[in-house]
């Protein structure tokens, strides 16, 4: 009887040890796939960076903003709707982030360098938020940019009054603090959706 008891207790100890081992093993939390509202483009081989000039005349590359979450939006200052709306939304997102707002850098890159001079960008971009930066390049740099970022850009002559408008890809690319491309944000998602995604990246997603 005593022998049997000892055998049972040994079995029991073993069972507990085994189950604990299993628990220890299963205890690693599974890496949750981040539920982004935007398109997760992590790992794509385009949209890797740029060489441009900012609205104060400084040469800039993506690496200058390492340590911040960078949102790059392409547009033009004469844009009647999408561009100002997007910049206003990004300003709202930055505000909503509170103190974490400092970890966000919004870059507005013109696809219309002909009209969007350094001065035009300086007048337009920081008006949405003083930290926002306008970027421009030469015609050649802008052409290269369109290729590097697979942008659709097309000048369209105005029907009345002369001049032209520019049809363009209306979305933003988001980089994490290490400068890795992470998201493509379609325009029209609204600030709450963007805020949610940026918070995820800030939390290490
Ligand atoms: Ni626009």
Phi, then psi, of 40 in degrees rounded to 5? -75, 110
Count helices and strands in the chain by DSSP H and E runs:
5, 10
161 pLDDT band, cuts 50/70/90, is: confident
pLDDT per residue over 133-151, tens digit each? Answer: 999 999 999 999 999 999 9
C-alpha 116 – ligand 1 centre gap (Å): 13
CA separation (Å) from 29 to 20, 26, 46, 60, 101? 16, 8, 32, 40, 29
Of 16 and 182, the structure prediction assigns the larger pLDDT to: 182
Q: What is the pLDDT, as a whole number, of residue 121? A: 98
CB 122 within 8 A of CB 55: yes
Mean pLDDT of 70-82: 95
pLDDT band at 97 (very low <50, low <70, confident <90, very high): very high
Q: What ranges in the chain are assigned the alpha helix state H? A: 2-26, 82-96, 118-124, 139-148, 191-202
Q: Is 38:93 a contact under the CB 8 Å cutoff?
A: no
Please compute the mean of the pLDDT values over residues 61-77 and round it to a whole number.
Answer: 97
59-61: strand order across its sheet? 39-40, 181-186, 171-175, 69-75, 104-110, 133-136, 51-54, 59-61
Q: How do residues 44-53 score in pLDDT, each as one tens digit?
A: 999 999 999 9
Distance 144 CA to ligand 1 centre (A): 19
How far apart are the CA of 190 and the centre of ligand 1, in A?
Answer: 16
Q: How far is the CA of 79 from the centre of ligand 1 (A)?
A: 4
177 and 205 in contact (C-beta within 8 Å)? no
The rounded Å distance from CA 28 to ligand 1 centre is 46
Q: How many CA atoms lie within 13 A of 155 on its CB side?
A: 10
**pLDDT band at residue 188 under the 50/70/90 scheme:** confident
158: three-class secondary structure by DSSP: coil
Distance (Å) of CA 155 to CA 75, 173, 189: 12, 22, 25
pLDDT band for position 18 (cuts 50, 70, 90)? very low
Q: What is the pLDDT of residues 28-42, one digit of tens each?
A: 666 556 699 999 999
**18 CA → ligand 1 middle, Å:** 62
Ligand 1 center from residue 75 Cα (angstroms)? 5
Going by pLDDT thresholds of 50, 70 and 90, the confidence category of residue 182 is: very high
Share of the chain above pLDDT 90, in %: 78
Q: What is the pLDDT of residue 28?
A: 60
* pLDDT over 50 (residue 117): yes
User: What does the pLDDT read at residue 178?
Assistant: 96
| Rounded distance from Cα 182 to ligand 1 centre (Å) | 22
- Surrounding residues of ion ligand 1, Cβ less than 5 A: 75, 79, 82-83
Contact by Cβ (8 Å): 126, 132: yes
Ligand 1 center from residue 80 Cα (angstroms): 7
Average pLDDT taken over every residue of the chain: 89
């Amino acid at each position: 009887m005593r022998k049997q008891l000892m055998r049972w207790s040994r079995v029991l100890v073993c069972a507990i040890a085994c189950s604990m081992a299993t628990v220890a093993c299963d205890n690693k939390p599974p890496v949750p796939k981040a539920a982004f509202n935007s398109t997760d483009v992590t790992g794509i081989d385009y949209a890797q960076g740029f060489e441009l000039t900012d609205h104060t005349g400084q040469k800039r590359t993506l690496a200058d903003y390492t340590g911040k979450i960078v949102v790059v939006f392409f547009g033009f200052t004469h844009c009647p709707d999408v561009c100002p709306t997007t910049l206003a939304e990004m300003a709202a997102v930055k505000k909503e982030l509170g103190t974490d707002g400092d970890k966000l850098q919004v870059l507005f890159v013109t696809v219309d360098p002909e009209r969007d001079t350094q001065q035009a960008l300086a007048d337009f971009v920081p008006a949405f938020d003083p930290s926002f930066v306008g970027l421009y390049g030469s015609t050649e740099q802008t052409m290269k940019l369109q290729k590097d970022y697979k942008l659709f850009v097309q000048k369209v002559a105005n029907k009345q009054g002369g001049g032209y408008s520019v049809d363009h890809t209306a979305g933003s690319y988001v980089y994490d603090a290490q400068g890795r491309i992470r998201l493509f944000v379609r325009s029209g998602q609204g600030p709450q959706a963007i805020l949610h995604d940026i918070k995820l990246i800030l939390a290490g997603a």
